[in-house]
Amino acid sequence: MAANAPEARQEGRTRESTAPKAPKETASRQPEAAPVGASVLKLLAYQSDFWQRAVLYLDTLRQRAENMLEHERAGKPPLLDFDYETILDGRRLPRPANYALLRVTRVGEECLEDCLDETKPPVMIVDPRAGHGPGIGGFKRDSEVGMALHQGHAVYFVVFFPEPVAGQTLEDVLHVLRHFVEEVARRHTDKAPVLYGNCQAGWAIALLSADCEGLVGPAVLNGSPLSYWSGESGVNPMRLAGGLLGGAWLTHLLADLGDGRFDGANLVVNFEALKPANTFWLKDYQLFSDIHSQRERFLAFERWWTGFYTLSKEEITAIVENLFVGNQLERGELEVCPGCYVDLRRIRNPLVIFGSSGDNITPPHQALNWIPAVYPDTETLKAAGQRIVYLLNPHAGHLGLFVSAKIARLEHRAILESLGELNELAPGLYEMKIDNPTGDPDCHKPQFQVRFEERRVEELEYPVQTTAFERVRQVSKANVALYETFFSPWVRLFTNPWTAELMRQLHPARTSRLMYSERFFPWIGGVQWLAGMAEASRRPVDTSNPYRQWEAHVSEMLATTLEHAGTMRDNLSELWFQGLYGWSPPGKNETG
């Protein structure tokens, strides 16, 4: 081939000289024809890819709806990726509540009995009861459950049932959790279990720790709010919701309309409203953009996210009035039973507080600002003999603290491997630092290092606006009294189980998902057939395609617009709140 190349070039020159010359205008058009043809081919390829992705995207939404219905028909069991057995059913205890204690027995085909270290304390993980069902702490192998098992701990998991026990209260829940802790300790020769609490479950564990001195071991509170009035203006708008809605009266109304039950879908809508760009565009576009790699992840998470659970009126109104509006926990004013007040100074077991600067549901302000409210200075904390360790992630969102596989493989593994050091710390406040992380669940110290750097309580300078929120509490009390006196009897008179179920089924959080189910729209079944054809002929285009780049650019513009709209809404909420309740100068750790 190389020897014949000069002859070919010479032959080409000879043919060029003897061939008739093309007109000048034809020669000038020739270079443009190839790019136009290539552009058309790229457009056609993009159109084919777009419609294939659209069909597969619709089929994913169809599958999500079917999964949602299947989960409901099965009774909404916990979504754990581990085999388990039920140890205690809280509904059968003398003071019942809709909780149950499970013991993890198997991982896939592997039995755990030979893998557990009997010298290590058991771990009891409690999932949040905030609208969704249980299981998010162990719905995949790289999770809190998976890391605890990997470290040789026996693992117990606290779940709850879709419906509360009639009249269930916070006191009933604490009573049941206390029974669970006692049972776990009894099964492990009186070793106090390590308690893991995610979000709402974190403050429930704090209540339990204050009530059960010496009964529980170290408590890990992940994204758990204990200081409800704290937050940063323009960044944490959820803390203003109680004031903007006039207090807790709306919670009473929704519970009455639910025939004494509060639909967890209402809480989910609140969470989704925090980030309109993600809720109304990014989450779905990420699925549409990369349908093959995102489909299973999307369906696994949505199975949990769309499993809406209910709370009793007594429970949800106590939570909203006493905690989120009243902020009574850090003030020592939370009365769980007549004459019984929760005092966080009674907590003696070590606490690990895991928060994130990227968490806009439970920011570090709400996770940590209770410490200077309870312990005015470092000397008071040390005199109480308490050890508090906090660990801050710079970027993770709220759910990432107890859902992200990356965080499970690093932070939670590091916490569990450092329990011995934690118990040996002198009383005081510490920040936990992790050096040289590997992200490998099979690695152990010293492949990564953990340091506990002593801090002072006085360094926690998160501002609060106590005076304004105190006004919110007073307004809420007045509005609740007005509603319960004049309106609640009439609402309950016209509410029955049928109307409550109708309202539940017509909730937008459900209808927006079930509209893709064949049960409600039989035509959607054709999408499954089209999806099979699209999958068989799938020819995805890469990101170098100019039309795919244009699509990404449009998506970015839409997301930015929605993000700006959310920011504007939050800023207006701040101004509205200030106009209604005044805006006292931020003070340091006021107690009102």
Q: Report pLDDT digits (tens) over 238-281.
A: 889 999 999 999 999 999 999 999 999 999 999 999 999 999 99
Mean pLDDT confidence for 77-104: 95
pTM for the full model? 0.88
User: What's the rounded Cα separation, in Å, for the pair 466 and 560?
Assistant: 34
- The listed range with the strongest mean pLDDT (118-122, 227-231, 483-487) is 483-487
Is the confidence at residue 379, as pLDDT, over 90? Answer: yes
Q: Please tell me which residue, 47 or 109, carries the higher pLDDT value.
A: 47
Is the confidence at residue 404, as pLDDT, over 60? Answer: yes
- The listed range with the strongest mean pLDDT (137-146, 288-297, 583-592) is 288-297
- DSSP character at residue 216: S
User: With bands split at pLDDT 50, 70 and 90, how would you rate the model's confidence at 371?
Assistant: very high
User: CB-side exposure of 302: number of CA atoms within 13 Å?
Assistant: 26
Is the confidence at residue 556, as pLDDT, over 80? Answer: yes
Average pLDDT, the chain: 88
Rg (C-alpha) for the chain, rounded Å, is: 29
User: What's the rounded Cα separation, in Å, for the pair 522 and 103?
Assistant: 41
Q: Please tell me which residue, 15 or 151, carries the higher pLDDT value.
A: 151
User: What's the rounded Cα separation, in Å, for the pair 423 and 584?
Assistant: 41
pLDDT at 569 (0 to 100): 92
User: What's the rounded Cα separation, in Å, for the pair 309 and 262?
Assistant: 9
Strand bridging mode 387-393 / 351-356: parallel
User: What's the rounded Cα separation, in Å, for the pair 237 and 244?
Assistant: 10
pLDDT at 11 (0 to 100): 41
pLDDT at 29 (0 to 100): 45
pLDDT at 448 (0 to 100): 79
pLDDT at 211 (0 to 100): 82
Residue 463 phi/psi, 5-degree rounding, is -70, 150
pLDDT at 111 (0 to 100): 64
Give the CA dihedral 580, 581, 587, 592, nearest 10 degrees.
-160
pLDDT at 51 (0 to 100): 95
Is the confidence at residue 33, as pLDDT, over 50? Answer: no
Is the confidence at residue 413, as pLDDT, over 70? Answer: yes
User: With bands split at pLDDT 50, 70 and 90, how would you rate the model's confidence at 23?
Assistant: very low
Q: Please tell me which residue, 338 or 436, carries the higher pLDDT value.
A: 338
Q: 468 and 584 in contact (C-beta within 8 Å)?
A: yes
Per-residue pLDDT tens for 494-507?
A: 999 999 999 999 99
Residue 103 phi/psi, 5-degree rounding, is -120, 125
Structure-token pair, residue 176: 């049941």
Q: Please tell me which residue, 110 or 48, carries the higher pLDDT value.
A: 48
Is the confidence at residue 13, as pLDDT, over 50? Answer: no
pLDDT at 14 (0 to 100): 39
Is the confidence at residue 5, as pLDDT, over 60? Answer: no
User: With bands split at pLDDT 50, 70 and 90, how would you rate the model's confidence at 116?
Assistant: confident
- Domains for the chain: give ranges and CATH numbers: 93-229+327-460 (3.40.50.1820)
User: With bands split at pLDDT 50, 70 and 90, how would you rate the model's confidence at 388?
Assistant: very high
